[in-house]
Structure 1
Amino acid sequence: MTTTTSSLLNIRPNFFYDKVINWFPGHMAKGLRIISEKMSSIDVIVEARDARIPISSINKKFEEVANVKERIIVYNKCDLAEESSQDIITKAFEKYRNQKVLFTNANMDRNIKTIINIAANKARENPQKYPFVTVMVVGMPNVGKSSIINSMRRLGVHRGKAARTGANPGITRAVSNTTIKVLENPTVYLIDTPGVMIPHIPDPVCSLKVALTGGIMDHLSDEEVIADYLLWRLNNFSNFGYVEKFKLPGPTDDVNVLLPAVSKRIGALHKQGCLRLSGT
């Protein structure tokens, strides 16, 4: 189906939302403190971000604790983001700072080998100082830290999962007390950490982006508002694939038109035709 924005009437020029969604449970505060305490024994920091929300997945708290170490910024899930954004992000890092930045798809092992090589080269270049290299992986919830660790282990030592993964944020709840070997020669170890949310997200729309990409627990956010925001974004990018997928007569800017069609498609309607909300 081919549709242009001109056929969609009254697209909202802006999305207005004034509720800030904050989620900073105790294990995150503890995790951030332990990350800081362990920094003296870390050689390389891998800071994972979500390529779909390159700005909103930045936690400036990591800047404070990791700025004295070699750091690799990894934009994971790049297969789910616009490929054109990679050039914009890369040029921004080249212009404003001398910072290594990679775009990865950990589920497909894309560019993960580069992370291993950066860590291994420290040991190869100075084996006396680095008889082994320890890497710590940090990032906000659900950016794919555990998937990156599992991919590094899979590529480096050809072994199975070492870190639990899942669709919900908060799977990893503590800084690991044990290291995970991801390369034999030279030896490279990893330390897993819990996802640490920004203690306070001042921009309400930024918090919506984090919630939409799974960084905040569903029950803490307004799912209908998140769906409305996603619809608005799709329309503004002229991405009308939802029309055919959910058998709509045409594009819509009304989430109350979209949601019943989605519910019907996934079998989430009561017999009376009402939406079946979670827990009902």
Structure 2
Amino acid sequence: MKIPEIHDPFKHLRPQLEITQKLISSHKSNVFSELKKFHEKFNSDILDSIQKLSKTLVEYQKRSSIAYRKLAEFGWYITLETDISEPIRLTEMIEKEEVDEMELDKEMMTHFKNHFKVIRKTLLRKFPRRKEILESAFNAHKNSDYNLSIPVFFSQAEGICCDITGKKLFGGRKDSNDNYHPHTFEWVKNLERESILTNLLEPLKHKGSLNQSDSEFNRHAVLHGEDCNYGSETNSYKALSLLNFVGTIVYKAKTNSD
């Protein structure tokens, strides 16, 4: 019996394939050259994008640091829940005189009102030794007893700061060049290489309004009985913002660096 010839389905394509192979061989150097150019351009584009991104991040970090410091100059401190672009937006609007301090207070109070329950729960959980005192302060604030809530918020913020950093939250000293630095300045500087949160700690490197004896509302005048008109809702939220800042952001920066 005659075995049928096995049909080669690619037989008619072989001549074309051979021609294609010769063409590739003859232009191999050109192909590799084009691939090399593409690879170099691709790498160059990627590097350029990374450099642009890095530059943008550095600029954004600079602007946000300025914004955090300026908010502290108005007596406000951010939370971990704060939108990262919000401090920049608010402070730049103030500089352009698009909003005034009263409008800033209104926006910041809305933020803290919305997060009051979370702040309370977080601080009571993190600092059980201070739970009874903190609960009394939170209850006083909730009941509009601001004359009672504000001094406790201030004193507990200072106590927690001392526990975390070993430094006093209020007060400071001048260096050899007569530049004033808060007690927490050196702590932040020493932490800068260790924590990604140091950008948020910018207020601890400067003298905010709550730490200035000549500002309308400040810790010294309240706790030393010099100011008898401090008991407002706005001031209580400002003091709470400081307490929360110390108990969450400063706390997190410290624990992340350990």
Give the alignment's TM-score, normalised by structure 2. 0.25
Higher strand share: 1
Larger radius of gyration: 2
Higher helix share: 2
Give the alignment's TM-score, normalised by structure 1. 0.24
